[in-house]
Chains A and B, each alone.
Chain A
Amino acid sequence: MLYRESGQFKKTYSADMQVFPLREDRTGIAVILFIAAVVIPLTGSNFFLSTVMIPFLVFALAAMGLNIVTGYTGLISLGTGAFMGVGAYACYKLTTYFPDVPIVIWILASGVFSAAIGALFGLPSLRIKGFYLAVATLAAQFFLEWCFVRIPWLFNYNASGAIEVPTRWIAGIPVTGPNATPMTRYYVILFIVVLMTWIASNVLHGRIGRSFMAVRDMDIAAELMGIRLLRTKLLAFAMSSFYCGVAGATMMFLWYGGGEASDAFNINQSFIILFMVIIGGLGSLIGCFFGAALLHIIPVMLKFGLPAIGIPLAGATAEHITYLLVGGLIILFLILEPHGLARLWQIGKQKLRTWPFPY
């Protein structure tokens, strides 16, 4: 009753080609944006904002990046962590040299650097695919990880061997560094995520998105239709790495604040993001948010939730259980619903359309 498409006729192609053709969906998005922009900052504690919401948005952005190359273009990448790292270090260098430029601009610009590196490591994708490509992207992962440790210029020769996030102001309000409030950081990252989700949705619904999916579903046919494989695959890698790079920069500047940085971009990070994409749904933007939410909430619940309700759990054990749960979830999802939470969401919407008279 609440969610119906009957009575909504499309009279023009542009109306039919909207991203959300249904009025109810558009209302839903508006409500979600309202909650994200007003309700959560007003009601959420600092702890909630900085431990749950900010990481969730960072992961969603990274998952979106990986989904572009893996979910939409069908190229498995295990280098996500490293591409995030490129963004973080690029942002650090940029803001070191030009401290007066607003940090948000540098966060977005750092994506350009990871896009370039991503396209470079995407080059082998022309000749190889599947498992082989996965191994090739591991080369990027390990090589870049090595660079982050061995090239001290990247972290400004800090004694800690890691990025130490400086305080940067926008309009007199500290946005990064130790003085920035979780609320400010939350708003900045929310702005970035909303902007980039909108752009991703635009690109993926148009010609470029269609070429990505064509390459994914049947690359030879796509080539014979006039899609240039190398160009399309490199674009997918570049765009994907752009998103990952921005995610890495936000991770370092708006979430971590530095210090514990050196292993933030390791192979396990790549896996976690890949798992978010699988569980959320390959080839679905909304799935990125679902996957990020689920996989980020599990460890947080185990770490903080269980002790809060009186079940003591050592930190290490919580980590081991997280591994078990996440691995199990992956296999469970691949068996039961290879298209992830996004498909479950669609099925739910379908049910709602016909509710309460499904026959």
Chain B
Amino acid sequence: MLYNVLIDPFVQMAGAPDLFVQTIWEGLVAGVLYALIALGFVLIFKASGVFNFAQGMMVVFAALTLVGLHEKGVPAWAALLLTLGVMAILAIAVERVVLRPLVNQPDIILFMATFGLTFIIIGLGEFIFGGEPKQMIAEELGLPQGTMRFDVLGGKVLIQKIDVAAAVIASLMIAALALFFQYTRIGRALRAVADSHKAALSVGISLNQIWVIVWFAAGIVALITGIMWGARSDVSFALQVIALKALPVLILGGFTSIPGAIVGGLIIGIGEKLAEFYWGPLVGGGIENWVAFVIALIFLMVRPQGLFGDKIIERI
């Protein structure tokens, strides 16, 4: 028993290095996607202090809108633009209907409001586009198809081109966001709001405007994530369970750190794929659904402030 848990998986890893590399790659790709969801989340949390539970649903909603519009006969590029418009409307609606009336309420109330938002987004998406799973229009959007084979350590590693594209696009987007935050006027305002709402208000920054911008930015991130994700599997709200895995990622990375989101995403992605592949069979498989949460839980017990957070000092 102990052998099976502690030693055998590592023997397997050493015995078939190509499989090991393949697993790592799979984990890396999943990790990038988790990181992307977490990124949209961090954006919102930084600027409005809202723990946006609905971010995962926004990803699915964006993908669903894109595919749904295309199914109705809209050309791919137009559908992409229209979806961006829909995400902008969503951002404005959220600011008007949810954030503005709830400003200055305890965080936990806003947190629960995003549960409500989650259900609204699910209901809306399925009501308009139907509940059945859909295919992502990856080809029409000009994303690369097919696979590449590499010879690694005496074996073969399969890499989907779309995954490479996902990693590249994700890196570009993160770089763009970092530049945006660092060097633009709005970026500076965003950072100010993140530090203190009141102080930002007092120097004439419009909170409402900032919130719309942030939620829209999160919407764009959601759309890109949705495209990448949809290309790997079907688009439907059954993805909800996977989308929730952005939460352990956030626990690892901390709620306000973009590098944290990325590193956390990769750790969770790789960790759960390795666990599933090497330890999963011991207990009947399917452990992917909870390993991420358990990793986060153990991590929480050791370091509640996250990878890059400061130690929390309680005051009274």
Measuring CB to CB, which residues of chain A are less than 8 angstroms from any residue of chain B?
76, 124, 127-128, 130-132, 134-136, 138-139, 142-143, 145-146, 149-150, 220-221, 224, 267, 271, 274-275, 278, 316-317, 319-331, 334-335, 338
Cross-chain contact B118 with A327 (CB below 8 angstroms): yes
Is the contact region of chain B dominated by helix, strand, or loop, or is it mixed?
helix
Selected from A128, A131, A275, the residue in CB contact (under 8 A) with B255 is: A131
B116 contacts chain A at the CB level, 8 A cutoff: yes
Selected from B113, B130, B247, the residue in CB contact (under 8 A) with A331 is: B113
- The residues of A that contact B251 with a CB separation of less than 8 Å are 132, 135
Cross-chain contact A321 with B116 (CB below 8 angstroms): no
- Residue contacts A-B, CB under 8 angstroms, 26 given: A127-B301, A130-B108, A134-B111, A135-B296, A139-B293, A139-B294, A146-B289, A146-B290, A150-B283, A150-B285, A267-B241, A271-B119, A278-B112, A319-B126, A320-B126, A321-B127, A323-B122, A323-B123, A324-B123, A324-B124, A326-B116, A328-B116, A328-B120, A334-B116, A335-B98, A335-B102
In whole Å, how far is B256's beta carbon from the nearest beta carbon of chain A? Answer: 12
Cross-chain contact B113 with A334 (CB below 8 angstroms): yes
A322 to B131, CA, bound (A): 14
> By CB atoms of chain A within 10 A, which of B112, B240, B244 has the most?
B112
Cross-chain contact B116 with A331 (CB below 8 angstroms): yes
- The residues of B that contact A138 with a CB separation of less than 8 Å are 244, 247, 293
A72 to B297, CA, bound (A): 24
- The residues of A that contact B105 with a CB separation of less than 8 Å are 334, 338
Q: Residue of A at shortest CB range from B97? A: A331
A2 to B291, CA, bound (A): 59
B300 contacts chain A at the CB level, 8 A cutoff: yes
- The residues of A that contact B1 with a CB separation of less than 8 Å are none
- The residues of A that contact B109 with a CB separation of less than 8 Å are 334, 338
B107 contacts chain A at the CB level, 8 A cutoff: yes
- The residues of B that contact A267 with a CB separation of less than 8 Å are 240-241, 244
In whole Å, how far is A66's beta carbon from the nearest beta carbon of chain B? Answer: 12
Q: Residue of A at shortest CB range from B249? A: A135
Report B280-303 CB contacts with A as 1/0, cut-off 8 Å. Answer: 000111110110011011001100
**Lowest 7 CB-CB distances: which A-B pairs, in order?**
A323-B123, A330-B116, A327-B119, A324-B123, A139-B293, A327-B120, A142-B290
In whole Å, how far is B310's beta carbon from the nearest beta carbon of chain A? Answer: 15
Known contacts A143-B294, A145-B289; 18 further A-B pairs (Cβ under 8 A): A135-B247, A135-B248, A136-B300, A145-B290, A146-B287, A150-B286, A267-B240, A274-B115, A316-B126, A317-B127, A320-B131, A324-B124, A326-B116, A328-B116, A331-B113, A331-B116, A334-B102, A334-B116
Cross-chain contact A316 with B131 (CB below 8 angstroms): yes
A338 to B110, CA, bound (A): 11
In whole Å, how far is A67's beta carbon from the nearest beta carbon of chain B? Answer: 14
In whole Å, how far is A357's beta carbon from the nearest beta carbon of chain B? Answer: 34
- The residues of B that contact A128 with a CB separation of less than 8 Å are 300, 304
- The residues of B that contact A76 with a CB separation of less than 8 Å are 108, 111
Measuring CB to CB, which residues of chain B are less than 8 angstroms from any residue of chain A?
51, 97-98, 101-102, 105, 107-109, 111-113, 115-124, 126-127, 130-131, 240-241, 244, 247-248, 250-251, 255, 283-287, 289-290, 293-294, 296-297, 300-301, 304, 314, 316
A145 to B288, CA, bound (A): 12
A334 to B105, CA, bound (A): 9
Cross-chain contact B115 with A130 (CB below 8 angstroms): no
A324 to B128, CA, bound (A): 12
Selected from B118, B124, B244, B290, the residue in CB contact (under 8 A) with A143 is: B290
Selected from B51, B102, B118, B289, the residue in CB contact (under 8 A) with A131 is: B51
In whole Å, how far is B294's beta carbon from the nearest beta carbon of chain A? Answer: 6
- The residues of A that contact B287 with a CB separation of less than 8 Å are 146
Cross-chain contact B117 with A331 (CB below 8 angstroms): yes
Q: Residue of B at shortest CB range from A219? A: B314
Q: Residue of A at shortest CB range from B108? A: A130
- The residues of A that contact B314 with a CB separation of less than 8 Å are 220
In whole Å, how far is A304's beta carbon from the nearest beta carbon of chain B? Answer: 19
- The residues of A that contact B248 with a CB separation of less than 8 Å are 135
- The residues of B that contact A127 with a CB separation of less than 8 Å are 300-301, 304
Q: Residue of B at shortest CB range from A316? A: B131
In whole Å, how far is B71's beta carbon from the nearest beta carbon of chain A? Answer: 17
Cross-chain contact B113 with A221 (CB below 8 angstroms): no
A139 to B244, CA, bound (A): 11
Cross-chain contact A124 with B284 (CB below 8 angstroms): no
Cross-chain contact B119 with A124 (CB below 8 angstroms): no
- The residues of B that contact A278 with a CB separation of less than 8 Å are 112
A241 to B29, CA, bound (A): 37
In whole Å, how far is A55's beta carbon from the nearest beta carbon of chain B? Answer: 19
- The residues of B that contact A130 with a CB separation of less than 8 Å are 107-108, 111
Q: Residue of A at shortest CB range from B296? A: A135
A341 to B291, CA, bound (A): 38
Selected from B108, B123, B289, the residue in CB contact (under 8 A) with A321 is: B123
A320 to B132, CA, bound (A): 12
- The residues of B that contact A136 with a CB separation of less than 8 Å are 293, 296-297, 300
A20 to B85, CA, bound (A): 55
Q: Residue of B at shortest CB range from A131? A: B51
A132 to B121, CA, bound (A): 23
The answer to whether residues A320 and B123 also contact, given A127-B300, A132-B304, A139-B297 and a CB cut-off of 8 A, is yes
A221 to B316, CA, bound (A): 8
Selected from B107, B113, B241, B316, the residue in CB contact (under 8 A) with A330 is: B113
A224 to B315, CA, bound (A): 13
Cross-chain contact A142 with B289 (CB below 8 angstroms): yes
Q: Residue of B at shortest CB range from A335? A: B101
A9 to B247, CA, bound (A): 54
In whole Å, how far is B112's beta carbon from the nearest beta carbon of chain A? Answer: 6
- The residues of B that contact A220 with a CB separation of less than 8 Å are 314, 316
A127 to B287, CA, bound (A): 26
Cross-chain contact B51 with A330 (CB below 8 angstroms): no
